[in-house]
Amino acid sequence: MKNATKIAAGFSALFLLGACVEESAPLVSAPAVGSASDLSDFEGARAGQAEMGITNLGYELIRSEGLTSYWFNRATGACAQIVTSDGRYSSITMLPAGDC
């Protein structure tokens, strides 16, 4: 009878430990601003910090001309022209895909 009690206690402990497992959140998530088709909400953001948010939305840097950069999202066809001034995105203009 003692062995049956120990086995039951062992199964109970395993069950309780299994119930403690937490679901993990995804490592990469969409930023709270912007969308896959419009980056205008990033205007005024610090360029270095916002860049990861833009790439997380599916955009890739196509080219840069001085302080102006062009970002393109292949999935949505969205193109953004971003001008940086004093380390911040001073203006963001959504353009036709052909401009990227």
For the chain, which residues make up each domain, given as ranges?
40-99
| Predicted confidence band of residue 6 (pLDDT cuts 50, 70, 90) | very low
pTM of the model as a whole: 0.68
Q: How confident is the model at residue 36 (pLDDT cuts 50, 70, 90)?
A: confident
| Tokens found for residue 9 | 């206690």
Indicate the pLDDT class of residue 2, thresholds 50, 70 and 90: low
Query: In this predicted structure, which of 9-13, 54-58, 64-68 has the lowest mean pLDDT?
Result: 9-13
In this structure, what are the phi and psi dihedrals at residue 19, rounded to the nearest 5 degrees? -75, -15
Residue 18's contacts (CB-CB under 8 Å, 6 or more residues apart) are none
